[in-house]
Amino acid sequence: MKKNNFIEKTAVFFLLLFSVFVIMSSFMDAIVRPDHVTMTAYFCGILVVGGFFTIIWVLCIRLPEAFLNKIFRVLAVFIFVLYIIEIFSLQLQPNVDLSHIIEQSLDMLEKGTHEFTNEDYFSFYTNNIPIAIIIYWVFYIGKIIMGEAFQYSIVGGLFNVIMIWIGFLCFFRLADKLTHNYKTAFFYKIIMLCNPLFFVYASYYYTDTVSIPLSIAAVLCLVTAYQSEKAKKYLLLFLAGILFAIAGKVRVVALIILIAIAVALIYKRLWKQIFRLAVLFSTAFLVVELMYGAAYNYHVKFDTSERAVPVTHFLMMGSHDSGTYDGNDVKYTKSFQNYKERQQKTWEAYCKNLKENGLSGNILLLLKKEAIWGIGTRGYYQYVKNVKEDTFLYQVIAGPYMSVTKGILQAYNLTIIVLIFLGLLYSRQKMTLMQLILVIYWGGTILFTALWEAHPRHIMTYIPFLTLLGLPFTESLFHKNPDS
């Protein structure tokens, strides 16, 4: 028991230090990379976000549950309307990865076929085939409903908003189940609802915003299952497995939370629960794999086995310079004609990069890559800068006034990291199973960031769950109030 406590305290201590590093990186980012955010905009953002959360805290302290619920409902409706306005206002015309998927989907709709023809792109980026299949069917259904009025930017955007709000609703329910008083639940619902990161990505319907709600829904099913009777429990656990499997297909990092759950159960020696999850989840993953196999064969007629991008390619990209995307690395990997050779050559390049970096170079590279946790803007503007019409909302999000938005995003991210830091401080003596899972989860995502190609957008997938690390502090904040 003492050994376990030592391990937990060590893990928490490491994450506390890492939180301080992220907070410092957040300010350094404003100095070193003003294209992300300027220091002036950052400080203005801190004032705005700080003022907002002060108001929320006062409301939580002063108002009864019924009134807080009314405020939340009104705010939720208002923000939902804002999301819809953004979709119609921006009408995104992306020119990055999503553009290949859109072009393929529109081409299939125009020709009345279901077969992917962009062999050059999809035989290399096979990881984008699941999201491409989903978007094709979203467009297909959208065209049936809208007919001649069909606009892919509107249909795709609305689909994305629906997915984001499914994630919101599941998170709200999760907050109700994990918190011990309505004030804490209200506070956490507001944190998720008002996170501007999801708003700026509302038009960009890619892997992150599709996989996030699925993984949140899966965790909600897990939590609900262990509060339910046997028959319902097994059904919910199986559904959680299905949701995890689909989320993992769309974006593999969605499975890190599942790995964290498995590690926590093994650490706690909860063998019965491990066996139950293993059986049900294995069955669920097999079902999804069979369904995906059928969809894949229906859409993809060309062979991708020899030309797919290997995992080692992303390790190679993450092992030199700043550890981010590199077009020359893509050309290098594509220069080899079969999968085995690509895997071997990129692995050799990865090992060579690490050797040439040396110890100090690898430590510096690691710090550069992990510093992206402090980039609250998540580099969203490169994804939403191409739109149909230059509206006022576009100017605020990605145009001449976007420094205001960037400052608020950076400050909001800082608030979440500070909340996580305080939550870790409060949980270091005694940790619940959920806190343990989240500690392992953050450790896993930090490790993944260290190894993989680094990109600020990737961190967006982790933020909803990591926010829950602040629960112990928030609970203590409102527990003193007799109305709680």
In tens, the pLDDT along 365-391 reads 999 999 999 998 888 888 888 888 889
Which tens digits make up the pLDDT trace of 402-447? Answer: 999 999 999 999 999 999 999 999 887 778 899 999 999 999 999 9
Q: What amino acid is encoded at 270 in this protein?
A: L
Selection from 424, 484, 478, 435 nearest residue 178 by Cα: 435
Burial class (CB in 10 A: 0-12, 13-18, 19+), 88: middle
pLDDT at residue 482 tops 90: no
Selection from 13, 28, 58 nearest residue 414 by Cα: 28
Give the pLDDT mean for 140-164.
94
Domain boundaries of the chain, sorted by first residue: 2-304+375-479
**Angle 129-133-135 from CA coordinates, rounded to 5°:** 115
pTM for this entry: 0.94
Give the pLDDT of residue 3: 61
Which tens digits make up the pLDDT trace of 307-353? Answer: 889 999 999 999 998 898 889 999 999 999 889 999 999 999 999 99
Burial class (CB in 10 A: 0-12, 13-18, 19+), 65: middle
Here the contacts of 109-112 (C-beta below 8 Å, separation 24 or greater) are 109/136, 109/139, 109/140, 109/143
pLDDT at residue 483 tops 50: no
Mean pLDDT value across the chain? 92
Mark out the alpha helices in 398-432 (DSSP H runs).
Answer: 402-427
Handedness of CA 255, 258, 263, 264 (dihedral sign): positive
